[in-house]
Amino acid sequence: MLQDIHAAIDKLYDEMVETRRYLHQHPELSFKETKTVKYIADYYEKIGIPYKTGVGGNGVIATLKGGKPGKTIALRADFDALPIQDEKDVPYKSKVDGVMHACGHDGHTASLLALAKAMQQFQDELPGTIEFLHQHAEEYAPGGAKPIVESGALEHVDAVFGTHLWATTPLGVLQTSEDVFMAGADRFTITIQGLGGHGAYPHETKDSIVIAAQLITQLQQIVSRRLDPLDTAVVTVGIFEAGKAFNVIADKATLTGTVRYLNPAIQENLIAEMEKIIKGVCISNDADYTFDYTKGYPPLINHAEEAKLVLEASKAVHDIHTRETVVPVMGGEDFAYYTLHKPGAYFFTGANLEGNPYPHHHPKFDIDERALPIAAKTLITAYMAYQERS
């Protein structure tokens, strides 16, 4: 049966590409995916698989109940895009100014839709129930996964699996982890309030730019000198905003950045260390500050047995020639909320497009579309393997 399923998926390759390219041309930002939701709902309406919209916000869940008893397993794909201008010279370039599928979510959606269509042919023979989970707003915290979990939509689910088309990994390579796979991802904003003045008279001011520069340097000491070397973390200041004139000392500076970590136990320690440094630098410079810290996605921690199952099951997917257990990546993923709530695993499906070296979130990002059926086949193979577990 599995070989027949794989063959049915392969026959839908052209449709997957067409779907992916349509979505690529019509991207929508997180929490604003109304047209994409309608596209997904219309697809399920057309093929006759029951579905629900408005799950946890803009989420869509379609349900295919098999003709044989078994477990209920959710297979997840996200569908939001990013505020990036598409700079690729391709026929399927984004038609929406300043918005782009720069992370492969269009491909995730295309794979899952085609998988649903393929599996409908095998419904009578299918053990258990597949929940095709289409999630909104992965790219922007608080994300779509958390409200979907909180809605209770997955309470009856036994396990959840998902994949990310990974543009920096070669085609035919599957990567996962049996523990922490992706980092926790938080956001912070620090505002320094000094005293502005003329650039020629710095002694009469409290230079917010100089204070912020000191702060940036000292924040790096959290990882290098205040954190256990065996713990992994990143403190990055990505935005430095201050000043409007070359001869004026700015009264205010704003720093915005991200904190990444793998061990949930060190999150509070990182926040406390940041607060100490900010307070100390500002006191020494007689300046005021505000520190706003937003906790984002927790680390994505795979369940070991489910990750092993994916690795073993993928041996039946002939398009995959290499399976790797890899060290965690410092990118974040709100799939983390699913594995906090249910057994499951997340994995990367290699999708590197030869001649395109650009990573995720780059204006020239693209994928090898031959990865689309590989993703679909791996998801359903993991599903079938899970059904066979005692």
Residue 97 known to be catalytic: no
Q: Is 282 annotated as a binding residue?
A: no
Residue 80 known to be catalytic: yes
Report the 3 state secondary structure along 40-99.
Answer: HHHHHHHHCCCEEEEECCCEEEEEEECCEEEEEEEEEEECCEECCCCCCCCCCCCCCCCC
Q: Which of 270, 302, 263 is nearest to 187 (CA)?
A: 270
Map tokens 């590409």 to a residue. 17
Catalytic residue, chosen from 28, 80, 186, 306, is 80
Q: Is 361 annotated as a binding residue?
A: yes
Q: Is 321 annotated as a binding residue?
A: no
Give the burial class of 244: count Cβ atoms within 10 A of its Cβ; 0-12 exposed, 13-18 middle, 19 or more buried.
Answer: exposed
Can you tell me the distance from the alpha carbon of 150 to that of 49, in angstroms, rounded to the nearest whole number?
24
Catalytic residue, chosen from 138, 158, 319, 366, is 138
Q: Residues annotated as binding site?
A: 103, 105, 139, 164, 361
Active site (catalytic) residues: 80, 138
Instruction: Provide the annotated binding site for Mn(2+).
Output: 103, 105, 139, 164, 361
